[in-house]
Structure 1
Amino acid sequence: MRRRLSVLVVVSSLVAGGVSGGVVAWLVEGDGTRAGAQAGARLGGDAMTGLADVAARIRGSVVALNVSTTVPDGLGGTMTHKVAGTGFAFDRSGDIATNAHVVSGARSVSVTLPNGSRVAATVVASDPDADLAVVRMQGASLPPLGLATDLHPRVGDFVIAAGNALALEGTPTVTVGIISALGRTVSFSNGTTLSHLLQTDAAISSGDSGGPLLSASGAVIGITTAGASSSGEALAQNIGFGIPIARAAPILHRLATSTSD
């Protein structure tokens, strides 16, 4: 019998247990409780130079999201819980794409820009079933990344992941890998299921949720949403998942024109 991946939200103040006896896929919002495996891609000098150029070019469009939510404190009251995630500018208005689980229940959201400054932001709208959301910054705008909605990724294609890994200060963390599978279906612990996902062996860490998965030319082919780790007797290494941009783009544009969540 094939094991089905189960997705756990990685929130240290809420996680009371885990799933045993199978591979666990975890949403990669950043509280530092899990980190992904290292990417296995090995590139030659010319390829590395090209990817370095892409990494430098896309950094100006990738941001860190700082989210505050209210959660039970276990004593009958509530406490503030902080979540770190990633987003990227995707349209001419400079709106920010991210995952819905990053901003779920947000009481406040701010964005750390590529230059290190922080600005306030609001959640325009979100679609939890698609795990997508749009955030709008106040008084700031960034150049959008190109969306490769017409590109059909293939297994073996190089991919670049950029994100707010472990909420480390400074520029986004950039990792490299390949598309290792297509059409994956992942079930979340809250009952949501995402299908048609890209699978990659690029290193995916806590805090990377909502970041772009890019082709070797720097076009967005997906949005990082989850990573897998070992549980019980099942061993998971170098497995991360992303929502294909061809499926995400229409939803993001719809959310960007919404007037409320």
Structure 2
Amino acid sequence: MAALHPLLRLLLLRPPPPPPPTSPPFPTTRRSSFSGAAAVALLLLAGSPPPPPARADIDGGGEDIDESRVVRLFQEASPSVVFIKDLVVGRNSARESGKLQAEGGDDGEEEGATVEGTGSGFVWDTAGHIVTNYHVVAKLAGDGSAFHRCKVFLEDSSGTSYSKEGTLVGCDPSYDLAVLKVDVDGDRLRPALIGTSKGLRVGQSCFAIGNPYGYEHTLTTGVVSGLGREIPSPNGRPIRGAIQTDAAINSGNSGGPLIDSYGHVIGVNTATFTRKGTGISSGVNFAIPIDTVVQSVPNLIVYGTSVSNRF
């Protein structure tokens, strides 16, 4: 016990340790409370599911909004677009083919016929009138050495394809326009929605539907690249006010519709600028404005080809 007394005395002589502070200094309080809040937030984040990704689809289909709109646009507009074939047969075989058609219908190409050209068009009304370019059907009148016939391939509202003989009602070479007539029940036709070219703006979306190189119901997309352009007509006169677009227009697209984002026809595809010797579109394409078409087509339907436009 005697040996323990000095140790006890030393312990007793030491000053007692300072009591723990009842409230830490302000900076410590902020740091600790911030750390605690951060820890709580991290725990909440770790325990909660990740936020859903931004939706870019319609009706849960997983498609982009613009993509779905274009798909629907094509589905609604394509039944109004027709495929036109210019068939040529010799005079002797023409009589035979006419006999075959009288006996067996008109849903195919005649024997001995050769496809000389193809193009596009669109249904104007339920009376069976088809609008196309003049240069697509310019040879229907014949030149004495061959006999030209026009076959129009259509699609009804149920998606069934069929073909009919097309007769030339009237043409307007000054605007590269022509009207054909097919004998079809009105309920099998889907007239195109006619819009206006007034108020078009450079940069707005547009879509071309046609049959380039014989590939039926082809859709190409682009924008209105320019307005008020001037292009030559088949008779050499200028067509003023043409619409320029970068939507691809190639051989066989002629006569097909250029439509806007609402499915309304704003022009008739008619020409493309190609680099000499290539035959490939450069992306500079032209359509006749629909306001010009609306002025010309009713006259062609009622009066036919005017005397001044007959070659």
TM category (shorter chain) comes to: 0.7 to 0.9
Choose from 164, 173, 183 the match for 1:119: 164
Choose from 46, 66, 85 the match for 2:85: 66
1:57 counterpart = 2:76: yes
Query: CA deviation digits over 1:104-139, x for unaligned, max 9?
Result: 021211101123321111010000111101011123
Equivalences for residues 178-193 of structure 1 within 5 A: 178-187=223-232, 191-193=236-238
1:108 is aligned to 149
Amino acid of the residue matched to residue 246 of structure 1?
D
1:153 is aligned to 200
Is contact 2:135–2:234 with CA below 8 Å preserved after alignment? no
CA distance in 2, matches of 1:172, 1:184: 27
Is contact 2:248–2:281 with CA below 8 Å preserved after alignment? no
137-146 or 194-203: bigger deviation: 137-146
Amino acid of the residue matched to residue 51 of structure 1?
V
**Greater C-alpha Rg:** 2
Amino acid of the residue matched to residue 50 of structure 1?
R
2:98 is aligned to none
Is contact 1:70–1:105 with CA below 8 Å preserved after alignment? no
Choose from 295, 299, 311 the match for 1:250: 295
Choose from 260, 264, 275 the match for 1:215: 260
CA distance in 2, matches of 1:84, 1:241: 18
Q: Which runs of 5+ in 2 are unaligned?
A: 1-62, 91-112, 141-147, 307-311
Equivalences for residues 127-138 of structure 1 within 5 A: 127-138=172-183
1:85 counterpart = 2:119: yes
Please state how far the C-alpha of 1:68 moved relative to its aligned partner: 2.8
Tell me, what secondary structure is at the counterpart of 2:174? coil
Tell me, what secondary structure is at the counterpart of 1:110? strand
Tell me, what secondary structure is at the counterpart of 1:129? helix
Aligned residue pairs total: 208
Tell me, what secondary structure is at the counterpart of 2:135? helix
| Aligned CA distance change for structure 1 residues 133 and 236 (closer, same or farther; 3 Å) | closer
2:219 is aligned to 174
Amino acid of the residue matched to residue 137 of structure 1?
V
Identity rate of aligned residues, in percent?
Answer: 33
CA distance in 1, matches of 2:226, 2:281: 14
2:283 is aligned to 238
TM-score (normalizing by structure 2): 0.62
Is contact 1:146–1:219 with CA below 8 Å preserved after alignment? yes
1:8 is aligned to none
Amino acid of the residue matched to residue 63 of structure 1?
V
Which structure ranks higher in relative contact order (CA pairs < 8 Å, sequence separation ≥ 6)? 1
Is contact 1:94–1:143 with CA below 8 Å preserved after alignment? no
Amino acid of the residue matched to residue 53 of structure 1?
R
Is contact 1:119–1:140 with CA below 8 Å preserved after alignment? no
Query: CA deviation digits over 1:195-241, x for unaligned, max 9?
Result: 11000000111100000000011000000000111138xx9721110
Query: CA deviation digits over 1:11-68, x for unaligned, max 9?
Result: xxxxxxxxxxxxxxxxxxxxxxxxxxxxxxxxx9211211110100011111000113
TM-score (normalizing by structure 1): 0.73
Please state how far the C-alpha of 1:165 moved relative to its aligned partner: 1.1
1:164 counterpart = 2:211: yes
Amino acid of the residue matched to residue 78 of structure 2?
R
